[in-house]
Amino acid sequence: MATALQGLRLTARTCCCTQSSQKHVVRTIGRQRVFSTTPIPWVSKEERQKRHEERLSRASKITGLDVRAMDRENEDMKRELQQLLDDEIDIGPSMPIPDLPVSRKKLKETFLNLGEQEAFEDGGFMEDEEDDISTLAHGELEQHREWRHYARLEAWEMPLLSKLAKPFELPTKRMPLRFRYTTYMGEQHPAEKKVVLEFSPADMPDLTPVQTDKLRKLLGPRYNPEKDTVRMSCEMYETQAQNKRYLGDTVDALLAEARDPTDTFEDVPLDTRHHTFKPRLRFPKEWAMTEERRQELVAQRQAQIERDAQLQELGHLVNGEQIIQKVLASRAAMAAEEPEPVLVGGRGGRAAAKGAGGKKISVRR
Amino acid sequence: MATSINCWKCLARPCATSSSRISSIVSSKPFSSTSSKLVGGPKPFKKAAPAGVKQNLRIKKKGAQKTTGRPPASGERKAMRKRIVLSNTNALAVPGMQEFNKDLVADMLEGGEEKKSLVGNVVVLPGETVDALRAIDAFKPTQGWGLFNKPGLLIRQESVELTRALVSAEDEKSTLRYVIEGSKGSGKSMMLLHAQAVAVARGWVVLHFPEAQELVNAVNDYAAIPNSNPSVWMQPTYTAEWLEKIAKANPILDTIKMTQPHNLPIEIPKGTTLGRLCELGVRDSDIAFPLFQALWSELNQSGRPPILLTLDGLSYIMRDSQYRNTNNELIHSHDLALIKHFTDFLSGSQTMKNGGAVIGATSRSHHPISLSMNLAITQALEKQQESPQTERQPFEKNYDERVEASLKDVHVMKLSGTSKDEARGLMEYWAKSGVLRQTVDERSVAEKWALAGNGVLGELQRGALRMRI
């Protein structure tokens, strides 16, 4: 399975490699013109004929020759040639047929011809002259080339990057906003354009406590009351820069609103329903086992043992098992003291006696 | 045996062809002009399941078992479920137990330096107390009374406190307002039972709502009290049954005679005993509620005994009931007359003239959540500990003003696990009763106490008595 997949991968790679150069060639449809905003003017047959006549008459006027006669001669020659060609076609296939482009069927786009410029099936592939290595081998070669490419990059270009390195500087008080960008290392990804902004309302400059509180209330569910931070993101624009701009504008708008004295929101409580406060459980200091605590526990246990021993001596220690045995023994003793009542007469009595001892008791009435 | 095996070298099962050969031999007949029945060969094997359908080895269940014998009569199963056994003759009688009477209550309060404290002792409930408590449904089937020879009660530190408060309320003729709170199995209902036992021992009149749920879940008939605005709703049948319980539990009512004139729907001669008044209410549920009101006003005359009014399952009455008014809207629990009666005293808007107590216990198993009640209890506890107050959630809509008003400034008793000494006393009682076959020493007590979540009584009982491995 793995081998098959490897083969498929290499084949696909070869196919891609051969086509990659043509991928981005610009092709135009229709007659090529210089850049123009007007539509192409198509000319009717009669118009063309009329123009031709005009052109001929103008040429004869300028040159003084009988251009019209020459034109007619030309037309005759054309017709003759056409006749000749028609005759040749009529002769049939015994004559050598010139190499003409064959009309080819457009293929459905599949995985194998994905991204090719001309996905045609015509069977007219180049003859396999068996002077080339196989497709798989081409794939291997291509892969090797790629490896070498990256090895060269690593060896020659990467060291130069260190020249561009800048030392990290802690953000100052004037930089309260923290942006997060995402890169997928040159690959395209839909999340590439997303920008996330984090800041703390307390760090915002030139805000009174009331205004800061108003800002917190305005921030709604983006506000984390546990950490006193805000997190907001934007990915609605095409590019990272646009998204970042939008976030910056939003912060400006929020600050302007927070500074607006018309309504300070002091009567509205801060809404934290969106946030779940997680209790931080920590091992209590009092529970930590120290040498003192260990000794204390040993002393406690010793005291317990002593107390139990004391109770044992006095006979006050309660033992459930013993109590039950004692009661059962006393009940048995009581039962032994009393004579066992024997039911005499009646069916039940006789049957019971039979069952117990197997004795028959006969009673005379 | 030999014919069934067609291949001696393998364990393959006999194939269809061999059996078909046998059948053809069997079916050979003398000459006949009609074709044999088996003419097209034997029928192919029936497929067990069509292609694509999963087969499994599960044997099909037979239909529901037919019940034999008599089905239980109506109400029989409920009676079985609610049955309370208070005595078990197989359990050993514990010698030398003190009785829960007036002297013991006095001893409980003294408990000075020289006298040994009663805390951690199990005391036995005397016969008349048991009768009274049984009449008001104070015992519950889940409390494990059936394991012991006689119903006993553990004296805890908190119960001593409660007793002290009750006695001082009696002395000062004030109304004690208590809410008992605690985790599941921590002994809230038992604390209520302790209060009732104290009340019975000291000759109080005891009124108890054993299950608040029954008051609000719309299983009883109800009617608006005439000329009440806003409407207050009475529950005639429940009130009649309740009056019966009151009369049964408080024989003292038979000695008290009516002195006041009342505006009652029936003519009651002056000098009728309160016990007789209750009896009249039991007979006719339509007049039960006015008679209850008359009873209450009679009890509040001077020279009458103090009253203990208790309710179990407080959170049920701290929200809308399931009854509906004439506009098909839910009636708030506090608009039901009996509950209103209770909450008026709990909130302190009314007081008992001869002193007394109103105690509500929360329930922590299958209970509705009342945000306001929980908040009020938390706030009350914080106030008692003088710690910062918890405030309302600003955006929560489900708070109830009336509930908060009804629980304003009540004293909350928070029950948690017992101390090790109390647990030891209880375990010794179990061992003496023959239900705990263990030596009760510090080690075993500590083990059970720790496993029961630091001595939560319900868990202690479950771990020591019910779970036998």
pLDDT tens-digit profile of A308-348?
Answer: 999 999 988 999 999 999 999 999 999 998 876 666 655 54
pLDDT reported for residue A14: 59
CB contact under 8 A, B434 and A320: yes
Among chain A residues, the shortest Cα distance to B94 is held by A323
Distance from CA of B441 to the nearest CA of A (A): 6
Distance from CA of A1 to the nearest CA of B (A): 27
Q: Does B157 lie in the same domain as B187? A: yes
In a domain, B6, yes or no: no
Q: Does B456 lie in the same domain as B410? A: no
CB contact under 8 A, B436 and A327: no
* Site from B392, B399, B436, B445 to mutate, A interface, most A CB atoms within 10 angstroms: B436
- Asked if A323 is an interface residue toward chain B (Cβ–Cβ < 8 A), one would say yes
In a domain, A235, yes or no: yes
Among chain A residues, the shortest Cα distance to B395 is held by A271
What are the Cα distances from residue A191, in Å, to A180, A195, A234, A241, A250? 12, 9, 10, 14, 21
**Burial category of A71 from C-beta neighbours within 10 Å (exposed 0-12, middle 13-18, buried 19 and up):** middle
Question: For residue B446, which residues of chain A lie inside 8 Å, CB to CB?
Answer: 304
- The most distant pair of C-alpha atoms in chain A lies apart, rounded to whole Å, by 177
CB atoms within 10 A of CB A8: 14
In a domain, B39, yes or no: no
Domain count across chain A: 2
CB contact under 8 A, B434 and A323: yes
Instruction: Flag the least confident range among A42-46, A227-231, B7-11, B390-394.
Output: B7-11
In a domain, A183, yes or no: yes
What residues make up the domain containing A186? 178-258
Percent above pLDDT 70 for chain A? 74
If phi over 0 gives left and psi between -120 and 50 gives alpha, with beta otherwise, what is residue A36? beta
Distance from CA of A308 to the nearest CA of B (A): 6
As a whole number, mean pLDDT of residues A288-303 equals 94
In a domain, A232, yes or no: yes
| A90-103: b (≥16 Cβ within 10 Å) or e | eeeeeeeeeeeeee
- Tell me how far apart the alpha carbons of residues A295 and A289 are, in angstroms, rounded to a whole number: 10
In a domain, B327, yes or no: yes
**B438 vs A273, A308, A320: nearest CB:** A320
Give the tens place of pLDDT for each residue, A149-199.
Answer: 999 999 999 999 999 999 999 999 999 999 999 999 888 999 999 999 999
- Tell me how far apart the alpha carbons of residues A186 and A205 are, in angstroms, rounded to a whole number: 37
Distance from CA of A337 to the nearest CA of B (A): 21
pLDDT reported for residue A172: 92
* Site from B94, B395, B447 to mutate, A interface, most A CB atoms within 10 angstroms: B395
pLDDT band at A9 (very low <50, low <70, confident <90, very high): confident
- Tell me how far apart the alpha carbons of residues A259 and A1 are, in angstroms, rounded to a whole number: 67
Nearest C-alpha neighbor of B375 from the set B391, B360, B362, B364:
B391
Q: Judge whether B155 and B332 are in contact, CB under 8 Å.
A: no
pLDDT reported for residue A95: 58
Where among A240, A258, A276 does a domain terminate? A258
Q: Does B401 lie in the same domain as B426? A: no
pLDDT reported for residue A72: 86
In a domain, A277, yes or no: no
Structure tokens belonging to residue A251 = 């912060």
pLDDT tens per residue across all 469 residues of chain B:
444 444 455 444 444 444 444 444 444 455 666 665 655 665 656 555 666 666 778 887 778 877 788 888 999 999 999 999 999 999 999 999 999 999 999 988 886 655 678 999 999 999 999 999 999 999 999 999 999 999 999 999 999 999 999 999 999 999 999 999 999 999 999 999 999 999 999 999 999 999 999 999 999 999 999 999 999 999 999 999 999 999 999 999 999 999 999 999 999 998 899 999 999 999 999 999 999 999 999 999 999 999 999 999 999 999 999 999 999 999 999 999 999 999 999 999 999 999 999 999 999 988 999 999 999 999 999 999 999 999 999 999 999 999 999 999 999 999 999 999 999 999 999 999 999 998 999 999 999 999 999 999 999 999 999 886 5
Domain count across chain B: 2
Q: Does B353 lie in the same domain as B254? A: yes
Among chain B residues, the shortest Cα distance to A303 is held by B442
Please enumerate residues of B whose Cβ is less than 8 A from a Cβ of A. Answer: 92, 394-395, 428, 430-432, 434-443, 446
Mean pLDDT computed over every residue of chain A: 82
Nearest C-alpha neighbor of B193 from the set B241, B128, B132:
B132
What residues make up the domain containing B301? 82-415
**A304 vs B436, B440, B442: nearest CB:** B442
- Tell me how far apart the alpha carbons of residues B146 and B466 are, in angstroms, rounded to a whole number: 12
Q: Does B390 lie in the same domain as B312? A: yes
pLDDT reported for residue A146: 95
- Tell me how far apart the alpha carbons of residues B469 and B466 are, in angstroms, rounded to a whole number: 10
pLDDT band at A110 (very low <50, low <70, confident <90, very high): confident
In a domain, B394, yes or no: yes
Nearest C-alpha neighbor of A250 from the set A242, A261, A240:
A242
Q: Which CATH number belongs to the domain containing residue B249 in this structure?
A: 3.40.50.300
pLDDT reported for residue A33: 52
pLDDT higher than threshold 50 for residue A21 = no
**B437 vs A269, A307, A321: nearest CB:** A321
In a domain, B14, yes or no: no
Distance from CA of B428 to the nearest CA of A (A): 6
- Tell me how far apart the alpha carbons of residues B1 and B3 are, in angstroms, rounded to a whole number: 6
Question: For residue A273, which residues of chain B lie inside 8 Å, CB to CB?
Answer: 395
In a domain, A118, yes or no: no
Distance from CA of B449 to the nearest CA of A (A): 15
- Tell me how far apart the alpha carbons of residues A349 and A340 are, in angstroms, rounded to a whole number: 13
As a whole number, mean pLDDT of residues A294-307 equals 93
Give this complex's ipTM.
0.73
In a domain, B401, yes or no: yes
- Asked if A320 is an interface residue toward chain B (Cβ–Cβ < 8 A), one would say yes
- Asked if A299 is an interface residue toward chain B (Cβ–Cβ < 8 A), one would say no
Residue type, B112: G
Q: Does B344 lie in the same domain as B428? A: no
CB contact under 8 A, A319 and B432: no
Q: Judge whether A235 and A243 are in contact, CB under 8 Å.
A: yes
* Site from B148, B393, B420, B442 to mutate, A interface, most A CB atoms within 10 angstroms: B442
CB pairs under 8 A between A and B: 50
CB contact under 8 A, A317 and B441: yes
CB contact under 8 A, A320 and B92: no
pLDDT band at A219 (very low <50, low <70, confident <90, very high): very high
Q: Does B121 lie in the same domain as B225? A: yes
CB contact under 8 A, B440 and A318: yes
Distance from CA of A206 to the nearest CA of B (A): 29
- Tell me how far apart the alpha carbons of residues B465 and B147 are, in angstroms, rounded to a whole number: 9
pLDDT band at A364 (very low <50, low <70, confident <90, very high): low
In a domain, A194, yes or no: yes
In a domain, A298, yes or no: no
pLDDT reported for residue B183: 95
Where among A231, A258, A285 does a domain terminate? A258
CB contact under 8 A, B395 and A307: no
In a domain, B12, yes or no: no
Question: For residue A311, which residues of chain B lie inside 8 Å, CB to CB?
Answer: 441
CB contact under 8 A, B439 and A317: yes
Structure tokens belonging to residue B372 = 């306001």
Q: Does B408 lie in the same domain as B296? A: yes
Among chain A residues, the shortest Cα distance to B93 is held by A327
CB contact under 8 A, B440 and A319: yes
Where among A204, A230, A258 does a domain terminate? A258
CB contact under 8 A, A271 and B440: no
In a domain, A122, yes or no: no
- Tell me how far apart the alpha carbons of residues A328 and A325 are, in angstroms, rounded to a whole number: 5
- Asked if A250 is an interface residue toward chain B (Cβ–Cβ < 8 A), one would say no
CB atoms within 10 A of CB A68: 13
In a domain, B67, yes or no: no
